[in-house]
Structure 1
Amino acid sequence: MRLKFIPPMMPELVDRPPEGEDWCHEVKFDGFRTQAIKDDDGIRFYTRRGHDWTAKYRPLVDEAKAIEADSFIIEGETIVTNEAGLANFSALRSAITSRPQDLYFVAFDLLHLNGHDLRDMPLEDRREILHEMIPAGGRIQFSEALPGTGAAVYHLVDKAGLEGIVSKRKLSRYRSGPTMDWRKIKCFTEKELDIIGVKREAGKPAMALMADKGRYVGGAFITMNREIRERLWDRVQGRTGAPPPKGLAKEKAEWLKPGLVGRVKFLKGEETLRHASLRDFREEET
């Protein structure tokens, strides 16, 4: 029997971890959501939207052959790590293209096994079976739950520079689509960066373009209150007309002369800005 891709169960983004002993907490790995399927037709790997990426993940397909089961559907995250052993999202696409042997698949849920649909089984039972299935020491690994309260786990993950955590109800059944039975809590940091440009297009959120010590690092949505935003536009007006930085001439932006510094909140552990917002700004003292 050929097994079909199952649309994933998607955690809702919240500000803080849930409390109580009904939850387990895992590291939120910064990669591509992936579903591995084995049936009579062999082993296949799918993206979050159900695209077949078996050819791109060929080394992981070979690793999956070591999992002893006639058929399975395993959910996880495909990642690549940096020198510190942390997931590195910005390097993931190039690794898939040029270094697929460096990929890892971190498995966190089991939806089907040997002809049995396990989605009505409680999460903690599905994970217990999955843990026993994953061979040690390979590039397919089990996503361990971290001991402690949600707040304690989040604190440790935040200090380690990881992306965040996913908290899941231990008794939750697997249901495709968004759910509050799974919740993701992301780790952010704030830093002062130079505002080198702004993008203002009708119908789109305004964005500040940021640089760190002369290196362009990306855009941050301008989410400040109306008073601060109007003060920013006033300062921008007097600084437009700078030449575009090298490599950015095609960007539809107003480039600014030096002197504006913004406080930016963004996702931790990235070389460029992700999920970034401009919180405040100041003028450089001359």
Structure 2
Amino acid sequence: MPKALEFCLPTAAKVVPDAPDWLHEVKYDGYRLRVERSGREVRLLTRNGHNWTSRFPWIVQAALKNREQQFVIDGEAVILGVDGVSDFNALHSRRHDEEVQLYAFDVLALGGEDLRPLPLSMRKSNLARLLRGRPEGMFVAPFEAGEIGPELFGAACRMGLEGLVSKRRDRRYVAGRTREWIKVKNRAHPAMSREL
């Protein structure tokens, strides 16, 4: 496994980019999580360094079902309602920990190789191959590329979603806050009141 893995953090913005070199993902309302697998050992680590491996068994089972023995995935721990929208209150309540899944949006290491220097577009391809069987408990974050970002943000707001995260498709994964990952939030979403 690569040493000193730290999360790449998006910078808050007011406008979604509309250029061809950006990828756009729905921002699910959950807990940021890194899934690290090495052989039969799986660890689920939060942004603050907490080990939540015992908290989310479905994600652990999904990681262990994968044929690949070594990987590190970056994603969001979520509980999805029947409408496909994440339910933060259900997640935070701890009453449904066995239902928590991983919304996987990046792969940082695979087969012992550090993928962070690769451009995001290549890491996305590796993530899709890694999770192509879509084991229950983990799913690949869908994304759209290019100028469609502002339209997607409008649709996300109308659907009551938290917002979008936009990422430069040609950039490496860097630790800490970066302008190459930006988040634009739906001002009407309940997550806004939790940040005040």
TM-score of the superposed pair, with normalisation by structure 2? 0.91
- Secondary structure of 2:194's counterpart equals coil
For 1:272 and 1:49, the matched residues in 2 are separated by 21
For 1:10 and 1:91, the matched residues in 2 are separated by 24
- Secondary structure of 1:65's counterpart equals helix
Point out the structure with the larger helix share: 2
Shift of the alpha carbon at 1:137? Answer: 5.9
- Equivalent position of 1:34 in the other structure: 33
Matched, 1:144 2:142: yes
* 8 Å Cα contact 2:79-2:91 kept in structure 1: yes
For 1:55 and 1:136, the matched residues in 2 are separated by 22
Note the aligned Cα RMSD (angstroms).
Answer: 1.9
Shift of the alpha carbon at 1:101? Answer: 2.0
Shift of the alpha carbon at 1:274? Answer: 3.1
- Equivalent position of 1:89 in the other structure: 88
Structure 1 90/113 Cα, relative in aligned 2: closer, same or farther at 3 Å?
same
* 8 Å Cα contact 1:9-1:176 kept in structure 2: yes
CA deviation vs aligned residue, 1:135-174 (integer Å, no higher than 9, x gap): 2261200001035511111111111110000000001101
For 1:20 and 1:146, the matched residues in 2 are separated by 12
* 8 Å Cα contact 2:27-2:162 kept in structure 1: yes
Higher relative contact order (CA 8 A, sep 6+): 2
Shift of the alpha carbon at 1:19? Answer: 2.2
Counterparts of 1:100-111 in structure 2, within 5 Å, are: 100-111=97-108
Shift of the alpha carbon at 1:65? Answer: 1.3
CA deviation vs aligned residue, 1:173-195 (integer Å, no higher than 9, x gap): 01100000000000113xxxxxx
Structure 2 alignment gaps of length 5 or more: none
CA deviation vs aligned residue, 1:4-43 (integer Å, no higher than 9, x gap): 5621000000001112100000001110000000114611
TM-score of the superposed pair, with normalisation by structure 1? 0.64
Return the letter of the residue paired with 2:173.
Y
- Secondary structure of 1:188's counterpart equals coil
Matched, 1:274 2:191: no
Structure 1 alignment gaps of length 5 or more: 190-267, 277-286
* 8 Å Cα contact 1:30-1:88 kept in structure 2: yes
- Equivalent position of 2:109 in the other structure: 112
Structure 1 186/105 Cα, relative in aligned 2: closer, same or farther at 3 Å?
same
Q: What percentage of aligned pairs have identical amino acids?
A: 31
- Equivalent position of 1:75 in the other structure: 74
- Equivalent position of 1:25 in the other structure: 24
CA deviation vs aligned residue, 1:79-114 (integer Å, no higher than 9, x gap): 1123432111122122xx332221110100010011
- Equivalent position of 1:121 in the other structure: 118
For 2:29 and 2:4, the matched residues in 1 are separated by 22
Return the letter of the residue paired with 2:194.
R
For 1:140 and 1:187, the matched residues in 2 are separated by 25
* 8 Å Cα contact 1:5-1:46 kept in structure 2: no
* 8 Å Cα contact 2:66-2:135 kept in structure 1: no
Counterparts of 1:197-276 in structure 2, within 5 Å, are: 268=189, 270=190, 273-275=193-195
For 1:122 and 1:80, the matched residues in 2 are separated by 29
Return the letter of the residue paired with 2:118.
M
Return the letter of the residue paired with 2:31.
F
